[in-house]
Structure 1
């Protein structure tokens, strides 16, 4: 068995055995969908006349997938480094690409399951999401988004030394970004300066690309721009993640 396969298998077993993390990874985004979906059921966004679900569903889905990527790899790398697991792995023939690739494969699988479950709930009559014909294009957007936010999670996990630190740093990054990027609130209703700031955040492009593909509230050009920006962010953050990665807190 290859190092990648062994690490992926071990990661999968550890993930599925942690029932609390498993539950909240999938339930947390659905909780926001249920709350906002029921509150604004049948209502339209005043600025555009679009059903509110067309805004909230892509935004919450994007935030949920990005959040899972950041927290998932951040906590694991911090724990492995604190418990000297990474140091032991380094003493074997296993190389860093295999370690990160195993976490990447798990993150993609989790993101796909999250998306299928989320959309399956959102299309129920109580919420009323109607996927557009371009909905399969959600997958490449989400893959690039997961790649970018996984790299961000590696950076967080490389610097944070405790679970509390991982949670604090990740929340400080993801919660403000969610609101400023329009995940929970339509950007059209925000001040102009906030709308300009949103364009500097990777979650905005993940939201925009998912929205254009899933609801048709955009064009193929919007999806292409979102994919291009997320790919660029993934390259930049990935380079930083590789540069800052630490096998041990003592190094």
Structure 2
């Protein structure tokens, strides 16, 4: 136990003194979270801009829908010119009881939306004016969909990426540095078991990962970003721990292969950076082409992202743990086995 505490303390001090690892583990991913969180904070909240010439119940009803931002024009030609130039998707011309919609056909999606809104509002007013009950009864019921606000998928994704970077860099760099400085050789000759050395390194890595999780979720939960954790967020703990161990095993493999700190840094970047872009860290992977979604399933970061997102923000239950935990556990066993086969206590 004394050797374990001494090694863990030494590794923690080494990590604190390593400014590069601290920057890439905490500050660099946090910069992405803050920048993307601010950029996409109001995504999906824009109203449809619609021009209006004249006034009446139709224009008032369109404004009351909450989906339309009306821009009024004193001259019809000025409004039509805006539509023709592509600055507005449509213009509602109200002349007494006559309603004309001028729309641009270049954007079929916007044109269809605008026509549907104006047509629906007009028909509703017609039914009300006739004094007759509508033939068909229409009721709108809101349900929770599976779409997420940007901060909801950015936080689990960037958190997973930061954990991957921290675990791979710290484990790989420590192993290479200690081997080059012959610290591993001294530990091998000392009355310290390999399990003690490995477990102390794992403890430091998990502690750093917990600090990252608290920092990122804390920042993302600020009112300016608005992250909301689901009621099943605690189910993220096994995925979180298995993810840390998976990337720790990659770091051990990097440290076993590389002979210098420069080589270890390059190898860690080659592993973590492309994986971030191919695993849905910065955008939902469902938006990617089908071939990219298929390729991403071989990466542990993809399954860590999916697992954390499902339980932290989507509110899924225990069933959401099966696939990510199974894949991460298998990855740990395979990569750890390979790392033990190529590991060496000192440079040959």
Shorter-chain TM-score tier: over 0.9
- Residues 300, 331 of structure 2: 8 Å contact kept: yes
| Bigger mean CA offset, 207-216 vs 13-22 | 13-22
After TM superposition, the structure 1 = structure 2 runs for residues 165-204 of structure 1, keeping only pairs within 5 Å, are 165-204=263-302
- Residues 33, 57 of structure 1: 8 Å contact kept: yes
Partner residue in 2 for 1:144: 242
Q: How many residues are paired up?
A: 249
> C-alpha distance in 2, partners of 1:119/1:50?
16
- TM-score, with length taken from structure 1: 0.93
Q: Which has the larger radius of gyration?
A: 2
> CA RMSD for the aligned pairs?
1.8
After TM superposition, the structure 1 = structure 2 runs for residues 1-20 of structure 1, keeping only pairs within 5 Å, are 1-20=1-20
> C-alpha distance in 1, partners of 2:338/2:2?
27
Q: Which runs of 5+ in 1 are unaligned?
A: none
Higher helix share: 1
> C-alpha distance in 2, partners of 1:48/1:9?
44
SS at match of 2:161: helix
- TM-score, with length taken from structure 2: 0.68
After TM superposition, the structure 1 = structure 2 runs for residues 1-251 of structure 1, keeping only pairs within 5 Å, are 1-44=1-44, 49-216=147-314, 218-250=316-348
SS at match of 2:225: coil
Does the C-alpha gap of structure 1 residues 218 and 192 become closer, same or farther in structure 2, counting only changes over 3 Å? Answer: farther
> C-alpha distance in 2, partners of 1:25/1:204?
19
> C-alpha distance in 1, partners of 2:328/2:222?
30
- Residues 208, 223 of structure 1: 8 Å contact kept: no
Higher strand share: 2
1:139 positional shift: 1.8
- Residues 256, 343 of structure 2: 8 Å contact kept: yes
- Residues 44, 50 of structure 1: 8 Å contact kept: no
Q: Which runs of 5+ in 2 are unaligned?
A: 46-144
1:15 positional shift: 2.0
1:115 positional shift: 0.2
> C-alpha distance in 1, partners of 2:44/2:273?
25
> C-alpha distance in 2, partners of 1:131/1:204?
20
Q: Deviations over 1:203-244 (max 9, x none)?
A: 111101111121026443222221121111111111111111
> C-alpha distance in 1, partners of 2:44/2:265?
35
- Residues 24, 165 of structure 2: 8 Å contact kept: no
